[in-house]
């Protein structure tokens, strides 16, 4: 864990999985909104440094914190770092996730447990650990879900179940933490394809989308910023899917 720049009195956001893809876009968008940002990453150190550098160029502070979200102690370690380095927390974005194929035929209990730990248990632990700091600032929690909560995928059982659980927790925590803390969710549609997807696979997945294209990380980040800045919205799930749910 390391600090990449000194703190200021600006509001602070913690984004998990912020080194690249959607997490990076969220971190940069929140910096544009005036936040200092704590960038959580696991293995992607070079990308995390690049994200921090981009935030610093915008005139805001950035800190790097490395943690394995499959470790039951990760949430406490991350929040201890936030407290020590930033001294406050205004926004928590649970973005990091494990996306591993699993069908009924290749069910693996160990991988199931790992997916639930990373996608469901640790986000809940982060919410619990962050609550005291967030209450002080009347803060916001944003959980990243997936349109798989509406359209189950038979080959991603562990992933889909974890996101469905996180949807329930989002609504339950919105009640439990009100009125001091607002809790909402963003459910992306097709956004960033896995690197090994062929052009044909990408076309097949995109063709049913009414807007006829995948979303972008920046569009997901805009939804996060909207929810952060919407003071009378809590317990809601915004689907940013190009209209895919309609089909």
Q: Which of the residues are catalytic?
A: 156
Q: Which of 67, 63, 2 is nearest to 31 (CA)?
A: 63
The C-alpha atoms of residue 200 and residue 104 are separated, in whole angstroms, by 25
**Burial class for 83, CB neighbours closer than 10 Å (0-12, 13-18, 19+):** middle
Give the torsion through C-alpha atoms of 143, 149, 150, 156, to 10 deg: 140
Question: Phi and psi (nearest 5°) for 144?
Answer: -90, 120
What are the beta bridge partners of residue 39? 15, 64
Q: Which residues of 98-117 are buried (b: 16+ CB within 10 A; e: fewer)?
A: beeebeeeeeeeeebebbbb
| 81 vs 54: CA distance, rounded Å | 21
């Amino acid at each position: 864990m390391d600090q990449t720049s000194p703190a200021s009195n600006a509001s602070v956001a913690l984004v998990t999985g912020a080194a690249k893809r959607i997490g990076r876009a969220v971190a940069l968008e929140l910096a544009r909104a005036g936040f200092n940002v704590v960038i959580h990453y696991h293995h992607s150190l070079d990308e995390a440094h690049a994200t921090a550098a981009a935030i610093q160029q915008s005139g805001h502070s950035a800190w790097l914190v490395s943690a394995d979200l499959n470790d039951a102690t990760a949430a406490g370690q991350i929040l201890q770092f936030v407290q020590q380095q930033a001294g406050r927390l205004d926004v928590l974005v649970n973005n990091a996730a494990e996306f591993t194929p699993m069908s009924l035929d290749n069910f693996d209990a160990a991988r199931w447990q790992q997916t639930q730990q990373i996608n469901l248990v640790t986000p809940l632990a982060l919410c619990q650990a962050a609550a005291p700091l967030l209450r002080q600032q009347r803060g916001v929690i944003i959980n990243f879900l997936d349109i798989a909560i509406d359209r189950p995928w038979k080959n991603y059982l562990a992933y889909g179940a974890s996101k469905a659980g996180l949807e329930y927790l989002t609504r339950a925590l919105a009640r439990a933490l009100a009125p001091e803390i607002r809790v909402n969710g963003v459910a992306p549609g097709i956004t960033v394809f896995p690197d090994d997807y062929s052009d044909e696979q990408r076309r097949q997945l995109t063709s049913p989308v009414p807007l006829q294209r995948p979303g972008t990380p920046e569009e997901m980040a805009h939804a996060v910023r909207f929810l952060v800045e919407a003071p009378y919205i809590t317990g809601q799930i915004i689907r940013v899917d190009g209209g895919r749910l309609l089909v």
